[in-house]
């Protein structure tokens, strides 16, 4: 009896050992549970929007644990929602003002690339001509002081061009816009009367010009100009392809040296080379109206507006990783991304400053 009991115990112990071994084996061969997905929201600049839409599918494929949602809502919304915490990344063509930073010292302005702004028009029979325009002339158009396309001030800049006697229809942004910020910065830098009365911001009190049109976002600006003969508008360079498809005109703008230049990447690089070395540690600086004979006058940093303090360490780490990738010349600043939207890659000196700011995200 005792012998039989010993055998049963032995069998039980062996069974436990075997089952335990099988259990451990099963544990090690089971697939690891997927890491929890971290969701990031990017919202803001419609100028940056096409670039984010190129970045995100590539980045999230390489990093399946991160989900990034993009929204083109305008720079003003991007800044506001980064401040409120609704969005983790507020995309903006405009840096925050001193007053905003004083009120929200926890917010970083991190350049990711350099953009260009076009001035386009829809003049029947003249869209194939690169009209020459200056800051004071544009300020005159948008303030209602220059009302016809054959005004003497425009004709003087374009000798030999048969300009139509037709009312100019200025198109402006109705949403809080970094494009408005850099366009009105150019007008302010070149035209004291505009600087003293309207100034520059993501939203300004546009003078009431008869026939003037408001539009939302760069897509809205393209559509409004496309359907408005004799109109004029300011449009971000990442929307160059739709502008070309609509066969709209492209202006040459007068720079600080008095030269008229086109919004090419080459001319933007010249302007950037004059200004980037002046970038402060917090990287809030206007690159508009740079010196240099070949400098295109309306360029600026494209910013990620982010809070230093994130909800948890995992979100902060995901933010740092993505933003550092965006700056990498083999990542988000690679030519196939930057060239696709006609941007200028961020120069190395600015990359170093941006990486220092990214390191502050916790």
List % helix, strand, coil for the chain (3-state, nearest 5).
45, 20, 35
pLDDT digits (tens, 9 = 90+) for 186-204: 999 999 999 999 999 999 9
Give the rounded percent of residues in the chain with a pLDDT score beyond 70: 90
Bridge partners (DSSP) of residue 301 are 114
Residues 124 and 271 in one domain: yes
| pTM, full prediction | 0.89
Neighbours of 18 (CB within 10 A): 10
**CATH number for position 139:** 3.40.190.10
Q: For 129-178, what is each residue's pLDDT tens digit?
A: 999 999 999 999 999 999 999 999 999 999 999 999 999 999 999 999 99
Dihedral of CA atoms 90, 91, 92, 97 in degrees, nearest 10, equals: 20
The pLDDT value given to residue 335: 98
d(CA 329, CA 335): 8
Do 261 and 125 fall into the same domain? yes
Q: Does some domain include residue 13? A: no
**48 and 102 co-located in one domain:** yes
12 lies in some domain: no
Domain ranges, residue 326: 38-115+301-358
Domain boundary among the residues 217, 246, 278 is at: 278
* Contact criterion met (CB below 8 Å) for 36 and 65: yes
CB 327 within 8 A of CB 145: no
Convert the pLDDT of each residue in 241-283 to its tens digit: 999 999 999 999 999 999 999 999 999 999 999 999 999 999 9
Give pLDDT tens digits for 8-63: 334 433 333 333 333 333 333 334 445 569 999 999 999 999 999 999 999 999 99
Domain count across the chain: 2
CA 299 to chain centre: 12
Same-domain pairing of 127 and 163: yes
**pLDDT at res. 118:** 98
91 band by pLDDT with thresholds 50, 70 and 90: very high
Do 48 and 238 contact (CB within 8 A), yes or no?
A: yes
Q: Which of 340, 348, 332 is nearest to 63 (CA)?
A: 332
Per-residue pLDDT at 35: 57
| pLDDT interval class at 325 (50, 70, 90) | very high
Q: Other C-beta atoms within 10 Å of 340: how many?
A: 13
């Amino acid at each position: 009896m005792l012998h039989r009991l010993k055998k049963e115990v032995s069998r039980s112990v062996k069974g436990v050992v075997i089952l335990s071994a099988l259990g451990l084996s099963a544990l090690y061969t089971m697939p690891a549970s997927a890491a929890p997905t971290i969701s990031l929201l990017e919202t803001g600049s419609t100028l940056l929007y096409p670039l984010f839409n190129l970045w995100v599918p590539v980045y999230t494929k390489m990093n399946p644990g991160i989900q990034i949602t993009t929204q083109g809502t305008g720079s003003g919304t991007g800044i506001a929602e980064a401040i409120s915490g609704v969005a983790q990344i507020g995309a903006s063509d405009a840096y925050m003002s001193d007053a905003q930073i004083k009120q929200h010292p926890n917010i970083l302005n991190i350049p990711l690339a350099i953009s260009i702004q076009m001035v386009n028009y829809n003049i029947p029979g003249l869209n194939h001509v690169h009209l020459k325009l200056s800051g004071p002339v544009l300020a005159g158009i948008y303030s209602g002081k220059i009302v016809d396309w054959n005004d003497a001030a425009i004709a003087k800049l374009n000798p030999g061009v048969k300009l139509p006697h037709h009312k100019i229809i200025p198109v402006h942004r109705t949403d809080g816009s970094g494009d408005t910020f850099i366009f009105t910065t150019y007008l302010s830098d070149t035209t004291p009367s505009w600087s003293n009365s309207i100034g520059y911001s993501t939203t300004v009190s546009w003078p009431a010009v008869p026939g003037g049109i408001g539009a939302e976002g760069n897509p809205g600006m393209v559509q409004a100009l496309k359907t408005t003969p004799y109109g004029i508008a300011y449009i971000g360079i990442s929307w160059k392809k739709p502008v070309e498809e609509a066969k709209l005109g492209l202006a040459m703008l007068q720079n600080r040296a008095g030269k008229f230049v086109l919004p090419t990447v080459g001319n933007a690089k010249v302007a950037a080379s004059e200004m980037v070395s002046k970038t402060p540690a917090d990287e809030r600086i206007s690159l508009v109206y740079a010196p240099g004979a070949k400098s295109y006058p309306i360029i600026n940093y494209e910013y990620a507006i982010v809070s230093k303090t994130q909800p948890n360490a995992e979100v902060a780490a995901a933010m740092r990783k993505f933003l550092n990738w965006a700056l990498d010349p083999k990542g988000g600043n690679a030519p196939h991304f930057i060239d696709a939207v006609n941007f200028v890659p961020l120069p190395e000196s600015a990359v170093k400053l941006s990486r220092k700011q990214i390191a502050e995200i916790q």
